[in-house]
Structure formats: structure tokens, C-alpha cells
Structure 1
Amino acid sequence: MSIKLPNSIADYIEANTRLDLDGMMEHFHKDAVFIDNGKQHVGQASIRRLLENEGIAVKAIFEPDTVRDEDSVVVLEGPTHGDFPGSPLRFTYRFTMENDAIKILETTVWA
């Protein structure tokens, strides 16, 4: 990767590779928003349910292979594989940070 990831993002990705829900959650701002293919999940409780039900449950692991900075938004792209139809699918993750915490995470799957 050509730019150094903020520690919180690198730690989030590493926790995801271990399917460690608590490790993933510790990097979200208390008022974080997770936008999953256009659907908003606001606050840590809602984000935890999303990650548990749609990520951990199907063993979805994101493996970024590209990274770029777009106006202070860190954009990662790469495949996500797991126990779900069509695996692996290519995703884009857009991280907006606030005080070294993930304030907004937007994920989209490539069509």
C-alpha cells in the first residue's frame, strides 16, 4: 500500500481478519455511522449488530489491495471472502476519521 494507514484503520482491518468483533468495535467513535450499501447504521449498538449479523456470522474477511486518500477520507478497495453467495466480492471501504477513531465507514460492493 502506498500510504500509511491510520492506526485505528489498520487495527480494525487486523481485527476483521481474526473475526474479532470487540477488536473491530473498539476503533469506532461513540457516535459513529456505518453506511452499508446506502443503509445507515448509527451508533455503536447498531454497528455492532450489523457487523455481528452480516460480517462475523458469515466469516466475511476484507483483504484490501489498494488504498488512497480522497480529501481526508481513506479509501480501501479489495475482495471480501466468506461463507456468503458470490464470495469473494470486491468492496470499497471509505473511512472518515475523527480524533483517531472511525467516525464514518461507508462500504459498497462492486456490481
Structure 2
Amino acid sequence: MNLPKLIENLVEAQNNHDAVAYSSLFSANATVFDEGKHHLGNAAIQKWIENSNQQYQTTLKPIAYKEDENGAVFTAEVAGTFPGSPAVLNFNLVIEHDLIQSLEITG
């Protein structure tokens, strides 16, 4: 599958459980919405992904990627130590200037 470099970097950072590299892919004022909670800004996003990595040890296996005028949707098989693993999840993204402005993870 041919993925944009930003998405390749996101997958690599997640699969290496590298919270610093993961959060560096987001703009300074980016937002993440996951498991009913919002996380605003790089520091909060880094803390969220560190906690998620410690708790679930998730890895991503890309399934699909599409873009339109409203943003992008990256679909991946997500495996880890959470109930129901593996699960197919959508990463709904708004990307500007080669950085993620918002991410909403949905099932």
C-alpha cells in the first residue's frame, strides 16, 4: 500500500511505541479524540500516547487510506492488550502543512 510519508511515520512511531516521535507529527495546537476524551496540544498528545502504549502496547497494520476535501481516513488493524484485540479502527485526520491538526479514532 502506498501511504503518505506522514502516515508511514505515524505507523512507525506507534509500532515502535515512540511517544516523542508520534507526538512530533502533530501541530502545536492539534487535538486528538479517543475513547471519549479530547487531548489538546503536543504535550497532552504525548502523554496520551505514552499512557496508551503502556496500557495497551498497540501496533498498527495499515488496511486503507483515502483523502478528500474534508480530510483523510487511515484504516488500520489495531492489535494490543485491549479487550477485542485486534480491531479495525479509522483514524480520521485533518492534515495541514504536513502535520496532523486533528485526529479522531473511531471503530
- The runs of at least 4 aligned residues of structure 1 exceeding 6 Å deviation read none
Contact 2:63 2:75 in 1 (8 A): yes
Gaps of 5+ in 2: none
The structure 1 residue matched to 2:15, chosen from 14, 17, 32, is: 17
Gaps of 5+ in 1: none
* 1:1-111 equivalence runs, <5 A: 1=1, 4-5=3-4, 7-54=5-52, 56-57=53-54, 58-109=56-107
Residues 3-60 of structure 1: per-residue CA shift (max 9 Å, x gap): 642x222211111111111111111101110011442111112111211112x11211
Aligned residues: 106
Identity across matched positions, percent: 28
Measured after TM superposition, the shift of residue 85 of structure 1 is 1.4
CA RMSD of aligned residues (A): 1.6
